[in-house]
Structure 1
Amino acid sequence: MATIKDIAEKAKVSIATVSRVLNSDPTISVGADTKQSIFDAAQQLGYTKHKRKKQKQLRIAIVHWYTEQEELNDLYYYSIRLGVEKKLEQNNYAYIRLFQNTDKKPDVDGIIAIGKFSARQKRQLEKWSSTVCFVDDVHASPSSDSVVVDFHQATSDILTRLMQQGHSKIGMLAGEEMFFGSSEVLEDPRFRSYCSIMKDKGLYNASYCFKGTFTVDSGYVMMEQAIRILGDDLPAAFFCANDSIAVGAMRALNDHDINIPERVRIIGFNDSSVAKYVSPALSTVKVYTEMMGESAVTLLEERILQQRIIAKKVILATQLVERES
């Protein structure tokens, strides 16, 4: 099979000149005789220009666990979605946004489901498309791809760091969530890991644990409960399940004139934009949410374009970010 190099040698010109002439580069300035000699050489050698195979234009549905308003109040899922959309746009894929309470079957090649979905909802998604990637759902279907955070390692990093600083009384303000239209409470994997690690160290105390929602107001209420119930036995450090809870907890401590971090240290989770601007600046765990979204698109591409059969789970690491709190 003839190559551009063969044509260049026969026509006695450079490879770059041959490439530009054969690709009809409008900026090239060579004489008509030179162009003709290149075309003649290509014909004599039987050169065939190989066209790059056009990539399939995929149509993807992004299905949200949250409503639009809830997403605006929780930048964690918002930033995951932005990561998904950025990657889809880079690859020139079409996409639509759906919310989990929709019943209309979308005409798509695949689905990226962001958040937690019940078994019934998962079955519905898999009826809509055989190619589904779940993001931030540790209980994703074994037959589907998923992208999750290594919550256990992140929790271990936090507790290990606090113990290295000499703390043995470490409390937790955990968040609870429910499936859409259900009263079933989902267990926070951070809380599960916290209990397991603290019990292994012989440091677990149930009275140091409080549960609420993943909001600033709930963080405030939980810390007020801790202050009122525990009094002088208030732990010297608290791990909060997200930054919103941590911000609420810090406000409660400030309102009760409890110094941060001298009396109580606070560590959040997610490294949201507010973390570095509260006072004192919030120590937290950075979650690479944009990468979570990008990874979901990559997994979907593998399934559709490369026809990968075996389900794949991507577990992303986190980073402990120490600030003033």
Structure 2
Amino acid sequence: MAVTLRDIANKAGVSIATVSRILNNDATLSVNEKTRQRVLDTAERFNYTKHKRSQSNRTQKIAVVQWYSLTQELDDLYYMAIRMEIERSAQQRGLQTVPIYQNNMEDIPQDVTGIIAIGKFSDSQVEKFRLVTPNIVFVDYDSLAAGYDCLVPDFENAVRSVISEFCNEGINDIGMLAGTETTTDNETVPDLRRFYFESDLRQRGLYHPEFIFAGNYTSMSGYQVMKKAIADLGNRLPHGIFIANDPMAVGALKAVQEAKISIPNRLAMISFNDTALVKYVYPSMSAVHVATDEMAHSAVDMMIKRLQNPDNDPCKTVVGTHLIKRQTTR
């Protein structure tokens, strides 16, 4: 007769739900280690086969590939937060993680059974990942067309919410500090925020190409680009500025303050990502919040499903965002 969860629960002295969550490595379950081990030992004694399959994840090793170097990661808390939460969540689910920085392929162990890749990657880099393992999940990079699981923020609705907020405040002259970047093998990465920004403004009849300036996602770039916008546009400086990420927003804010431009009365500003950087500057920055924890947990879930069912079709998850208003909007 097959062993059931009820049999294990009765023997271990816990509920069926607790048994199920422990055997499925549920990281949200609050239970002491003694109880957890008692359930695992009971399942082992009963030779519970489903338990053995779920526990196979404990022997799996995955590489967590960050496209940034350690130094770059310190300047962009968005990617750091995603990496750290992926590693924490994966380890809680019984996976062994190997951190790889700056997309260094040579550092990826050949015995990994999966790769979670964070950031932007060229086609040739994706192919190199595939030569190591077909089990790949991309975070913040749309790889569905290439045949791999991926998670991306909802850039389209995020940008729409920013423009709608400015318009609701009576601001119709809206600019952007966009970002340009390249993969570690020097392929240019398009900024989807800029694409959706320009598209939405065109539909509203509010598009002014002279109000768009490009930087490289660093705080120094944000400072320099904002100073250029102020100098070039003078009194024509837009009354609303959307900034592609938080480091650029912090630099831009410094330039605006040096120019003694009133915030938000003369200039309203909204950033993207909502890391700690923009929460604790003064004035605190309104920002589109991206759920980095949710992205990380979903990436680990995707990897475990991929390891269990490697022949499944690839999936794309779009993670929702929401605008948090602080002191840089009216």
State the TM-score, normalizing by the size of structure 1.
0.84
What displacement does 1:185 show?
2.4
Q: Secondary structure at the match of 1:117?
A: coil
Aligned 8 A contact 2:288 2:321 in 1: yes
- Map of 2:68 onto structure 1: 66
Q: How does 1:134-145 map to 2 (within 5 A)?
A: 134-139=138-143, 141-145=145-149
Q: Match for 2:231 among 228, 231, 249?
A: 228
- Map of 2:193 onto structure 1: 190
Write the distance in 2 (CA, Å) between the matches of 1:291 and 1:81: 12
Write the distance in 2 (CA, Å) between the matches of 1:221 and 1:214: 11
Name the CA shift for 1:20/1:282 in 2 (closer, same or farther; >3 Å). closer
Write the distance in 2 (CA, Å) between the matches of 1:167 and 1:139: 36
Q: Secondary structure at the match of 2:273?
A: coil
Q: How does 1:283-302 map to 2 (within 5 A)?
A: 283-302=286-305
- Map of 1:258 onto structure 2: 261
Is residue 11 of structure 2 the alignment partner of residue 19 of structure 1? yes
What displacement does 1:181 show?
3.0
What displacement does 1:63 show?
1.2
Q: Secondary structure at the match of 2:87?
A: helix
Write the distance in 1 (CA, Å) between the matches of 2:190 and 2:206: 21
Write the distance in 1 (CA, Å) between the matches of 2:3 and 2:301: 33
| Larger Rg computed on CA atoms | 1
Name the CA shift for 1:229/1:20 in 2 (closer, same or farther; >3 Å). closer
Amino acid at match of 1:149: P
Q: Match for 2:48 among 41, 46, 51?
A: 51
Is residue 185 of structure 2 the alignment partner of residue 181 of structure 1? yes
Aligned 8 A contact 1:80 1:290 in 2: yes
Name the CA shift for 1:297/1:174 in 2 (closer, same or farther; >3 Å). same
What displacement does 1:319 show?
1.1
Amino acid at match of 1:214: Y
Aligned-residue sequence identity (percent) comes to 36
Following TM superposition, the consecutive aligned residue runs of length 4 or more in structure 1 with deviations greater than 6 angstroms are none
Name the CA shift for 1:142/1:259 in 2 (closer, same or farther; >3 Å). same
- Map of 2:17 onto structure 1: none
What displacement does 1:280 show?
1.0
Q: Match for 1:214 among 209, 217, 229?
A: 217
Q: Which moved more, 1:124-133 or 1:274-283?
A: 274-283
State the TM-score, normalizing by the size of structure 2.
0.82
Q: Match for 2:240 among 237, 248, 263?
A: 237
Q: Secondary structure at the match of 1:238?
A: strand
- Map of 2:163 onto structure 1: 159
- Map of 1:114 onto structure 2: 118
What displacement does 1:307 show?
3.8
Structure 1 alignment gaps of length 5 or more? 8-14, 22-47
Aligned 8 A contact 2:144 2:314 in 1: no
What displacement does 1:274 show?
2.0
The alignment's C-alpha RMSD in Å is 2.2
Amino acid at match of 1:229: D
Name the CA shift for 1:236/1:142 in 2 (closer, same or farther; >3 Å). same
- Map of 2:39 onto structure 1: none
Write the distance in 2 (CA, Å) between the matches of 1:127 and 1:78: 26
1:264-290: CA deviation from partner (whole Å, max 9, x where unpaired)? 001001111021211111000111112
- Map of 1:91 onto structure 2: 93
Q: Match for 2:82 among 80, 98, 108?
A: 80
Q: Secondary structure at the match of 1:103?
A: helix
Kindly indicate which of the two structures has a greater share of residues assigned to helix. 2
What displacement does 1:116 show?
0.5
Q: Match for 2:308 among 305, 310, 316?
A: 305
Aligned 8 A contact 1:115 1:136 in 2: yes
Name the CA shift for 1:49/1:252 in 2 (closer, same or farther; >3 Å). closer
1:190-240: CA deviation from partner (whole Å, max 9, x where unpaired)? 000000000111110010000011111111111111111111111001000
What displacement does 1:103 show?
2.5
Name the CA shift for 1:307/1:119 in 2 (closer, same or farther; >3 Å). closer
What displacement does 1:159 show?
0.3
What displacement does 1:50 show?
5.1
Amino acid at match of 1:116: K
Write the distance in 1 (CA, Å) between the matches of 2:282 and 2:99: 37
Q: Secondary structure at the match of 2:275?
A: coil
Aligned 8 A contact 1:83 1:291 in 2: no
Is residue 252 of structure 2 the alignment partner of residue 249 of structure 1? yes
What displacement does 1:91 show?
1.1
What displacement does 1:106 show?
2.5
Structure 2 alignment gaps of length 5 or more? 14-44
Q: Secondary structure at the match of 2:214?
A: strand
